């Protein structure tokens, strides 16, 4: 997924760090540049994981997500979905690579 003005994203393993909890889950992330706010916004879905569920239940919703390639972003963990996983969202640097875009002249 890539391209100017289109959604970019990532699908694969993610390290999730919430408080003192660190675990690896499968994730599906996507994002886009918001021209009205000037921010990059991203959202994702995490596979079910007991450590993530426990962190959410204990109120640890601030998370750091990291890909095996070293990209990382800070986000907020939301409640469980119908499949037992959790959603996460953030703004600013996403936990996945973005394509390089040359400024328009």
pTM, entire model: 0.83
**Domain map of the chain by residue range?**
10-91
Tokens of 3: 């391209």
Question: How confident is the model over 58-91, as pLDDT tens digits?
Answer: 999 999 999 999 999 999 999 999 999 999 999 9
> Region 1-19: what's the mean pLDDT?
75
Please check the confidence at residue 101 and state whether its pLDDT lies above 50.
yes
> Region 38-54: what's the mean pLDDT?
95
CA-based nearest residue to 12, from 3, 1, 22, 4: 1
Reduced to 3 states (helix: H, G, I; strand: E, B; else coil), residue 53 is helix
The pLDDT of residue 7? 59
Tokens of 86: 């959790």
Helix (H), strand (E) at residue 52:
helix 50-57
Torsion 20-59-23-13 (CA) sign: negative
Question: How confident is the model over 16-44, as pLDDT tens digits?
Answer: 999 888 999 999 999 998 889 889 999 99
Torsion 18-52-87-97 (CA) sign: positive
Pick the more confident residue, 8 or 4.
8
Query: What is 10-91's CATH topology?
Result: Thrombin, subunit H (2.40.10)
């Amino acid at each position: 997924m890539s391209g100017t003005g289109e959604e970019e994203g990532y699908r694969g393993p993610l390290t999730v760090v919430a408080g003192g909890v660190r675990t690896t889950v499968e994730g599906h992330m996507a994002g886009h540049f918001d021209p009205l706010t000037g921010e990059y916004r991203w959202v994702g879905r995490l596979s079910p994981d007991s450590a993530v569920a426990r962190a959410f239940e204990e109120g640890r919703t601030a998370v750091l997500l990291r890909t095996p390639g070293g990209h990382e972003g800070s986000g907020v963990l939301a409640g469980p979905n119908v499949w037992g996983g959790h959603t996460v969202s953030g703004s600013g640097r996403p936990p996945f690579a973005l394509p390089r875009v040359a400024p328009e002249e």
